[in-house]
Amino acid sequence: MHTPVTNSAYPDALSVPEARDRFLASNGFHVEDYSAPTYTIKFCQFPVRFPNTKGHQWATPLHDLHHILTGYTTDWIGEAEIAAWELRAGCKTLVVYWLDVAGVVIGLFISPARLWRAFVRAKGQRTLYREPALCESVSHMTVGEVRARLGIPPGGLKS
């Protein structure tokens, strides 16, 4: 988890590739990380490595776009919020369900009220996990266009 980036960093007019590049740079990530053999999460300042399975490699770029679209941050509570949002808006694979349930469990200890608000806000919205045709075209769209297609309000949920 890294320093949270405010949603104003991802205005509706920004192209999705520009937003993704800004998101990756501000969080210390790289496009190459999506296909790396492992990924690392820090628990109490101790790095723990996990295998970057094919399912995780498929889900991570979409998950990162969800952060951009919703405005939920990449700190612990932001990850819990995005997990609750994804669970309600639509998961697709066992990997995504597993990661989102784990995020929600952590969020229950950190900020149950924010977790609940994220879950409630997801009503009627969709994730990229369940929109394969949209996934293929997002690189030619703006953040606002993708938000509109997924039912996310202009400016995201945390503006």
Helix (H) / strand (E) element for 50: namely: strand 46-51
Q: What pTM was computed for the model?
A: 0.91
Q: What is the pLDDT of residues 127-137, one digit of tens each?
A: 999 998 998 89
What are the Cα distances from residue 75, in Å, to 4, 28, 57, 88, 115? 6, 13, 20, 20, 13
Q: Is position 131 within any domain? A: yes
Give 2's pLDDT tier (boundaries 50, 70, 90). Answer: very low
Is the residue at 128 inside a domain? yes
Tell me how many domains the chain contains: 1
Let me know if residue 1 belongs to a domain: no
Q: Is residue 110 part of a domain?
A: yes
DSSP state of 56: H
Domain range spanning residue 60? 19-150
Residue 3 has pLDDT above 70, yes or no: no
| Residue from 109, 103, 108 nearest 67 by CA | 103
Residue entry with tokens 């951009």: 68
The answer to the question of residue 90 being in a domain is yes
Query: CA-CA-CA-CA torsion for 78, 155, 92, 2, nearest 10 degrees?
Result: -30
In a domain? residue 156 = no
Query: How many whole angstroms separate alpha carbon 43 and alpha carbon 155?
Result: 31
pLDDT at position 20 over 90? yes
Q: Give domain status of residue 14, yes or no.
A: no
pLDDT, tens digit, 9 for 90 and up, residues 75-114? 999 999 999 999 999 999 999 999 999 999 999 999 999 9
